[in-house]
Amino acid sequence: MDDLYRSELMEIYKDPTHKGHLSDPSISTEKQNTFCGDHLHLTLKIKNNIIEDAKFDGAMCFVSIIGADFLLEEIIGKTIKEAKKIDQKKLLELINLNLSTSRVACATLTLKALQEAIEKYEQEKN
Amino acid sequence: MLDVIKIKKDFPIFNNHQDLIYLDNAATSQKPQTVIDRIAEFYSSENANVHRGVYPLSEQASEAYEIARKKVADFIGAKSSKEIIFTKGTTESLNLVAQSYALENLKVGDEILVADFEHHSNFLPWQIVCQKTDATLKILNSDKSGFISQKEWQNKLSKKTKIVAIAHASNVLGTINDIKKIAKMIHSVGAVLVVDGAQAIPHLSVNVQDLDCDFYAFSGHKMLGPMGIGILYVKETILAKMLPYQLGGGMIESVSMNETIYADYPEKFEAGTPNVEGAIALAEAIDYLSAIGLPEIRAHEIKLSEYLLNGLAKINRVKLLGTADAKGRTGLVSFYVDGIHAHDLSDFLAKNGLALRAGFHCAMPLHQSRSCGATLRVSYYLYNSEQDLEFLLSNLEKAITYYG
């Protein structure tokens, strides 16, 4: 059979670049997907409004791992303002997977966590 | 073993999807041509509302509807067809018991017992009843094999227990509970027994009088019948005292500006135009199942369970839920693979034509009690073969290698 996913994605799934926990995060957040039981821990290091580093960890499926790794790759080095512009449509374009409706929630788990984390960070700052 | 090749020809879905390997029968079964035809026949040549008109077409429709009721009553060994209420499905049946029986009879200090493996539809109605009546909801914790131990019953069952609601067979574990034994035990403290039979009725020969349960709920669509038709059996002594569930047409004796006299049961519990074609098509499904024979279907499934359990035991990292004894299960096995998400496995299998369920199967408390994430559920029926399961096992191994 044809492989289910592109081979480069399989490599990311097996060894995600941005998996782990930052030891001294500016902000951290937890997020769950009750549909499948996935849970995620996201840590961000922010300095002068720039996301210097970000890591994710948790019990996650293939699609949510890919969604997380692509998203973090995209936002590291960007300003908060730029990171906030990334929406579901943009993320789905980035990962370029043919997803069923039920699995879009997997792909966007980390995006939702990021949006919450930024909101929390901005509230704490003000 | 059943002649699966011959049986499959009765089910047009397999002709329309040649590569389909359908292993999601616990969610819904496929339908034989006879059942599909019966629905079309009703609307083509018998359609009229029931219990209303005095013209022949309406009387014939009413008669067919009542013959269906009698067929269901006989199928589950009820004493009388008056004990059979047609509903939308198991969920509505259980909600009917919660509203028309439990809310009327429970008070502060009373207790309801439910098992930790219940489907949400046999869990949430009792949660609400307890919130509204200040009764207490207690959970019977199952052991590793999926059964409630004698000790657990002794710890939880008391004179305070008024209702015990339990699945005849779990929709996740597949385990079959000894309802007859449970009925005897809980009747001795004066409680009533509500049985969720959704996962048992397609597979086991059920006799409600022999089981001695007070309520038995099930759906038509898991036993080859159409969706949207279900049954609630209620023991007549209890039913006679119950208040109606919904109000409207078809359930009254007389109505005046000041007073309403309800119709006798079971009509009293069937307000509005019922699902007539569903009821008569369910009767057709019962005929089909009876012609093949439930004991034959059961024997076939036990063979399939043995084959599958044996195959799964040989695959590294597969963790089984519930008993490893094929005879203690319906045609259903749930498991997970350490380190690989059930939805990922399911995606891989689906690509090869294998239709099975991944998730929590409407039983989140059970998954919490087992500390596991989503699981894969394989559920088979009379048209499944060992070849289907062999194909599943080999693809499961491929999937595990793929995800690593």
Strand ranges (E), B299-345: 318-321, 332-337
B106 and B152, same structural domain?
yes
Say what the pTM is.
Answer: 0.92
> What is the model's pLDDT at position B249?
85
Q: How far is A35 from chain B (nearest CA, A)?
A: 7
Instruction: Verify whether the Cβ–Cβ distance B402 to A4 is below 8 Å.
Output: yes
B302 and B253, same structural domain?
no
Looking at A11-20, A81-90, A100-109, which range is the least confident one?
A: A100-109
B247 and B313, same structural domain?
no
B179 and B86, same structural domain?
yes
Contact B115, B142 (CB under 8 A): yes
Q: What is the mean pLDDT of residues B270-298?
A: 97
B254 and B144, same structural domain?
yes
> What is the model's pLDDT at position B188?
97
B248 and B213, same structural domain?
yes
Contact B374, B347 (CB under 8 A): no
CA atoms within 13 A on the CB side of B373: 22
In this predicted structure, the answer to whether residue B208 has a pLDDT above a threshold of 60 is yes
Active site residues of B: 362
**Could you tell me if residue A53 is inside a domain?**
yes
> What is the model's pLDDT at position A3?
63
In this predicted structure, the answer to whether residue A35 has a pLDDT above a threshold of 80 is no
**Could you tell me if residue A2 is inside a domain?**
no
> What is the model's pLDDT at position A100?
82
What domain range includes position B360?
4-29+294-403
Pairing of strands A38-47, A27-33: antiparallel
Strand partners, A57: A41
* Residue B371: band (very low, low, confident or very high) from pLDDT cuts 50, 70, 90: confident
Instruction: Verify whether the Cβ–Cβ distance A106 to B359 is below 8 Å.
Output: no
Q: Which value does ipTM take for this structure?
A: 0.84
B134 and B41, same structural domain?
yes
Instruction: Verify whether the Cβ–Cβ distance A63 to B343 is below 8 Å.
Output: yes
The residue out of B228, B260, B290 marking a domain boundary is B290
Instruction: Verify whether the Cβ–Cβ distance A1 to B341 is below 8 Å.
Output: no
Contacts of B367 in chain A (CB under 8 A): 37
Chain A / chain B CB contacts < 8 angstroms: 40
What domain range includes position A89?
7-125
Q: What is the mean pLDDT of residues B263-292?
A: 96
Contact B21, B388 (CB under 8 A): yes
Closest-CA residue of B relative to A62 is B344
3-state secondary structure of B390: helix
Q: What is the mean pLDDT of residues A99-108?
A: 87
In this predicted structure, the answer to whether residue A2 has a pLDDT above a threshold of 90 is no
Query: Residue B355: is it exposed, middle or buried by C-beta count within 10 angstroms (0-12/13-18/19+)?
Result: middle
Q: How far is A66 from chain B (nearest CA, A)?
A: 12
Q: How far is CA B174 from the centre of its chain?
A: 12
* Residue B369: band (very low, low, confident or very high) from pLDDT cuts 50, 70, 90: confident
B163 and B25, same structural domain?
no
In this predicted structure, the answer to whether residue A1 has a pLDDT above a threshold of 50 is no
What is the rounded distance in angstroms from the CA atom of residue B23 to the CA atom of residue B301?
Answer: 12
CATH code of residue B341: 3.90.1150.10
Contact A113, A39 (CB under 8 A): no
> What is the model's pLDDT at position A53?
97
DSSP A42-57: EEEEEETTEEEEEEEE
Task: List, for residues B307-356, the tens digit of each pLDDT value.
Answer: 999 999 999 999 999 999 999 999 999 999 999 999 999 999 999 999 99
Q: How far is CA B209 from the centre of its chain?
A: 18
Q: Which residue has the tokens 């693809």?
A: B395
CATH code of residue A110: 3.90.1010.10
Amino acid (one-letter) located at B274: P
CATH code of residue B208: 3.40.640.10
**Could you tell me if residue A112 is inside a domain?**
yes
B51 and B8, same structural domain?
no
What is the rounded distance in angstroms from the CA atom of residue B322 to the CA atom of residue A52?
Answer: 48
In this predicted structure, the answer to whether residue B256 has a pLDDT above a threshold of 80 is yes
Q: How far is CA B127 from the centre of its chain?
A: 20
Q: What is the mean pLDDT of residues B356-378?
A: 84
What DSSP element (H or E) covers B128? helix B124-133
Contact B32, B288 (CB under 8 A): yes
Q: What is the mean pLDDT of residues B190-205?
A: 98
Rounded to the nearest integer, the mean pLDDT of chain B is 95
Q: Which residue has the tokens 């919904």?
A: B246
The residue out of B260, B290, B320 marking a domain boundary is B290
The residue out of B240, B270, B290 marking a domain boundary is B290
In this predicted structure, the answer to whether residue B219 has a pLDDT above a threshold of 60 is yes
B155 and B249, same structural domain?
yes
Q: How far is B367 from chain A (nearest CA, A)?
A: 10
Task: List, for residues B12-59, the tens digit of each pLDDT value.
Answer: 999 999 999 999 999 999 999 999 999 999 999 999 999 877 899 999
**Could you tell me if residue A1 is inside a domain?**
no
User: Which residues of chain B are at the A interface, by a Cβ-Cβ cutoff of 8 Å?
Assistant: 341-344, 347-348, 351-352, 358-360, 364, 367, 373-374, 402-404
* Residue A7: band (very low, low, confident or very high) from pLDDT cuts 50, 70, 90: confident
**Could you tell me if residue A101 is inside a domain?**
yes
Q: How far is A74 from chain B (nearest CA, A)?
A: 24
Instruction: Verify whether the Cβ–Cβ distance A106 to B402 is below 8 Å.
Output: no
Contact B329, B175 (CB under 8 A): yes
Contacts of B344 in chain A (CB under 8 A): 61-63
Count the domains in chain A: 1
Instruction: Verify whether the Cβ–Cβ distance B367 to A37 is below 8 Å.
Output: yes
* Residue A77: band (very low, low, confident or very high) from pLDDT cuts 50, 70, 90: very high
Count the domains in chain B: 2
B309 and B276, same structural domain?
no
What is the rounded distance in angstroms from the CA atom of residue B393 to the CA atom of residue B404?
Answer: 16
> What is the model's pLDDT at position B32?
98
Query: Residue B361: is it exposed, middle or buried by C-beta count within 10 angstroms (0-12/13-18/19+)?
Result: buried
Task: List, for residues B129-186, the tens digit of each pLDDT value.
Answer: 999 999 999 999 999 999 999 999 999 999 999 999 999 999 999 999 999 999 999 9
> What is the model's pLDDT at position B294?
97
